[in-house]
Amino acid sequence: MDQLTSFFNGNYHLITIVILSVFLGIEVISRVPAVLHTPLMSGANAIHGVVIIGAIIVMGEAKDGDFFSLILGFLAVVLGTLNVVGGFVVTDRMLEMFGKKKKK
Amino acid sequence: MEQIILQYTEFLTTNSFLLFAYLIGSVTFILGLKMLSHPETARKGNLIAAGGMIISIFGTIFLYKHHGNGLGNYAWIFAALVIGTIVGTMAAKKVQMTAMPEMVSLFNGMGGACAMLISMIEYHNDATPSTGKLLIIVLGMIIGTVSFAGSIIAWGKLNGSIKDKTIPGGQMINFLLFGGIIGLAIMVVGGFVGADMAHMLFYGITALAAMYGILFVMPIGGADMPVVISLLNSFTGVAAAFGGFLYDNPVMLTGGILVGSAGTILTILMCKAMNRSLKNVLIGSFGAAKTGGAAGAKDQGNYKEISLNDTAVLLAYAQKVMIVPGYGLAVAQAQHTCHELEKILNEKGVEVVYGIHPVAGRMPGHMNVLLAEADVPYEKLLEMEDANDQMGTTNVVMILGANDVVNPAAKEDPNSPIYGMPILEVEKADHVIVNKRSMKPGYAGIENELFFRPKTSMLFGDAKKVLQALIAELKTV
């Protein structure tokens, strides 16, 4: 119980962010027309690529000679970058098509 | 408690620029998602979110400090960033519009794997973390691994390299796996086993989670795949959020949770479009229910074929034509030809609209993206309700490679696995022309009685070739 309360006290600001973000996510998405579902899914996919920040921190803190961390961390940064860059580029490609027909 | 506050204030003072960068990142993610929900602002929204991501990433690289120490290993980090950027851009630029859903699934799997690796390294580095930290590490690892393994299977199934498989007793195995994962996780996190044992169990959990991800997606087939991808997408979001807890990192937390909740809502919206519950999708897969429905081809009688010439005449003298596109159109890459047909019919004074079922294709909105690529005007794409309203005044419905979304069994046959799914009620129109490559059932593996109805005529062939021939015919009519 003690551990639980101290966890809550130590992380209450993060817990607040979590709860508010849950509601925000629901609010923002509920208004999306079906037309944009695919690009939206793809855009959201790119945004969760933010996990790459964790990979960068892990990689940057790895000690010399700790090859377990260095190699897995390297892999994690590569995969995270793929998620971010690939996600945003694919989404942009989809939306580019929506833009094209608008000008006419 | 005091120490926690101390740590927190230290974090605040040494990282105020970084925190500001993260704040920008969080705001751009929210703005980006919001702008993505309107056709006019969507592209800008995506770019804004990408900009926020870049600020957050470079902020982390150059400003992050833990106990006063900045990050090292810059060579490794930048090498990895460059490799990821080049490969990611190339893959995303090269992929065809038809293969978009697979690509999203694959990128999602990469994110899941990233979360999994982070947890593994953190566990490796800190032999005796606090219970709270250990819980976060283990949960992040489990969810990341499930998402990674599941996404790879979804990717393989969509591009056809993995076939649908129903494992006998699969549900039971999944249930046991799930129980095993929870049990082992409690043993590790609760500190019920020695350090060496815990280490082994940790990797045991990883293996079980990977198996669970594989077996969880394996039996789910057909039309349900978009739902699964969307669900796995939100899983990865949650895994990223656990990373946010691990590093006290607000932008990982906002980004992850936003995607987690948004992805869940999107999943539910998709289930609603098919009039099925999420539980139904995950447990009662189409593959298992294949025996039911109109499969007993008892009194279906014969279908009739229609020639290209007759089709052309029928279309040319119609007042209003509705095109119902499906995955067949995407496979044949016939979207441009389809738009040409539309223009020719317009020149002949025929009104052409498109009836878009929300789950036509392999992803919600798949058809919209495809037709937008061919410059079909936005206003001509009718959503299901509008399309059904206009069906009565439509002379000819032309179905291009769609099947399950027009199957009358969804309304008429309570035994059909898709019973209750809203469909495009094409039979309200005067004529129905179905273009398919063969009489084979659709992706969901269900027979379609529509093809045997009196109003229906079949026009066999690859959608693109048929449309090109039709255009040629129409020029002579």
Give tens-digit pLDDT for B197-251: 888 999 999 999 999 999 888 887 666 777 888 899 999 999 999 999 999 899 9
Answer whether residue B295 shows pLDDT above 50.
Answer: no
Q: Which residues of B touch A6 (CB under 8 A)?
A: 1, 4
d(CA B233, CA B147): 8
Residues A57 and A94 occupy one common structural domain = yes
Q: What is chain B's length?
A: 477
Comparing CA positions, the residue from A27, A32, A75, A87 lying closest to residue B114 is A75
pLDDT at B66: 81
Percent of chain B's residues with pLDDT above 70: 88
**pLDDT single digits (tens) B327-360:** 888 878 888 999 999 999 999 899 999 998 877 8
Residues B374 and B395 occupy one common structural domain = yes
Residues A56 and A18 occupy one common structural domain = no
CA nearest to B49 within chain A: A47
Higher pLDDT, B126 or B60: B60
Q: Which residues of A touch B241 (CB under 8 A)?
A: 18
Non-local (6+) Cβ contacts of A65 within 8 A are none
Residues A70 and A21 occupy one common structural domain = no
Whether A46 and A52 have beta carbons less than 8 Å apart is answered as no
Task: Please indicate whether, in this complex, the C-beta atoms of B60 and A53 are within 8 angstroms of each other.
Answer: yes
Is B345 inside any structural domain? yes
Residues B351 and B472 occupy one common structural domain = yes
Residue span of the structural domain in which A57 resides? 33-104
d(CA B400, CA B424): 13
Answer whether residue B34 shows pLDDT above 80.
Answer: yes
Where is the domain boundary, B92, B127, B156? Answer: B92
Q: What is the DSSP string of B167-210?
A: -TTHHHHHHHHHHHHHHHHHHHHTT-S-HHHHHHHHHHHHHHHH
What confidence tier does A48 reach under pLDDT thresholds 50, 70, 90?
Answer: very high
Residues B142 and B252 occupy one common structural domain = yes
Residues A78 and A50 occupy one common structural domain = yes
At B241, list the tokens.
Answer: 């959020």
Residue span of the structural domain in which B222 resides? 102-288
Residues B183 and B53 occupy one common structural domain = no
Where is the domain boundary, B58, B92, B126? Answer: B92
Q: Which residues of A touch B60 (CB under 8 A)?
A: 53, 56-57
Answer whether residue A101 shows pLDDT above 50.
Answer: no
Comparing CA positions, the residue from B427, B434, B428 lying closest to residue B457 is B434
Non-local (6+) Cβ contacts of B15 within 8 A are B63, B64, B65
Residues A6 and A22 occupy one common structural domain = yes
Our CA-based measurement puts residue B327 at a distance from the nearest CA of chain A, in whole angstroms, of: 14
Where is the domain boundary, B288, B322, B346? Answer: B288
**pLDDT single digits (tens) B358-415:** 778 766 677 887 888 788 888 888 888 889 999 989 999 999 988 888 888 888 888 7
Whether B132 and B183 have beta carbons less than 8 Å apart is answered as no
Task: Please indicate whether, in this complex, the C-beta atoms of B256 and A51 are within 8 angstroms of each other.
Answer: yes
Average pLDDT, whole number, for chain B? 85
Residues B222 and B365 occupy one common structural domain = no
Is B45 inside any structural domain? yes
Quote the pTM value.
0.80
3-state secondary structure of B351: strand
Residues B262, B171, B285, B437, CA torsion sign: positive
Residues B18 and B156 occupy one common structural domain = no
The lowest-confidence range among A24-28, A96-100, B219-223, B471-475 is A96-100
Range B26-38 average pLDDT: 91
Q: What is chain A's length?
A: 104
Residues A16 and A42 occupy one common structural domain = no
Comparing CA positions, the residue from B124, B196, B243 lying closest to residue A66 is B124
Residues A95 and A49 occupy one common structural domain = yes
Neighbours of B128 (CB within 10 A): 9
Residues A101 and A88 occupy one common structural domain = yes
Our CA-based measurement puts residue B300 at a distance from the nearest CA of chain A, in whole angstroms, of: 34
Residues A60 and A81 occupy one common structural domain = yes
Query: What residue spans of B73-194 are helical by DSSP H?
Result: 74-94, 100-125, 131-158, 170-189
What confidence tier does B1 reach under pLDDT thresholds 50, 70, 90?
Answer: low
Q: Which helix (DSSP H) or strand (DSSP E) does residue B321 occupy?
A: strand B320-325
Phi-psi region of B67 (alpha: psi -120 to 50; beta: other; left: phi over 0): left
Residues B372 and B299 occupy one common structural domain = yes
124-143 of B, contacting A, C-beta below 8 A: 124-125, 130-132
Answer whether residue B298 shows pLDDT above 50.
Answer: no
Instruction: Compute the half-sphere exposure of residue B445: CA atoms within 13 Å on the CB side of its CA.
Output: 15
Residues A51 and A62 occupy one common structural domain = yes
Is B97 inside any structural domain? no
pLDDT at B422: 82
344-373 of B, contacting A, C-beta below 8 A: 356, 358, 363-366, 368-369, 372-373
Residues B346 and B471 occupy one common structural domain = yes
Number of domains in chain A: 2
Comparing CA positions, the residue from B293, B322, B313 lying closest to residue B424 is B322
Please tell me which of the candidates B47, B88, B247 has its beta carbon nearest to residue A86: B88
Residues A88 and A43 occupy one common structural domain = yes
Residue showing tokens 């007793």: B169
**pLDDT single digits (tens) B142-167:** 999 999 999 999 999 888 788 776 67
pLDDT at A102: 45
Percent of chain B's residues with pLDDT above 90: 39
Answer whether residue B299 shows pLDDT above 50.
Answer: no
Higher pLDDT, B292 or B173: B173
Range B68-94 average pLDDT: 92
Burial class (CB in 10 A: 0-12, 13-18, 19+), B299: exposed
Comparing CA positions, the residue from B140, B139, B154, B142 lying closest to residue B108 is B154
Task: Say what the ipTM of the complex is.
Answer: 0.91
Residues B160 and B232 occupy one common structural domain = yes
Range B65-78 average pLDDT: 86
Q: How far is CA B35 from CA A24, A32, B184, B262, in A?
A: 14, 10, 43, 14
Residues B283 and B329 occupy one common structural domain = no
Residues A16 and A48 occupy one common structural domain = no
Our CA-based measurement puts residue B443 at a distance from the nearest CA of chain A, in whole angstroms, of: 19
Backbone angles phi, psi at B166, to 5 degrees: -105, 115
Residues B206 and B243 occupy one common structural domain = yes
Answer whether residue B446 shows pLDDT above 90.
Answer: no
11-40 of A, contacting B, C-beta below 8 A: 11, 14, 17-18, 21-26, 28-40
What confidence tier does A103 reach under pLDDT thresholds 50, 70, 90?
Answer: very low
Whether B259 and A22 have beta carbons less than 8 Å apart is answered as no
Range B170-193 average pLDDT: 89
pLDDT at B4: 59
Residues B325 and B245 occupy one common structural domain = no
Number of domains in chain B: 3
Query: Which residues of B are part of the catalytic machinery?
Result: 404
3-state secondary structure of B322: strand
Is B269 inside any structural domain? yes
pLDDT at B12: 54
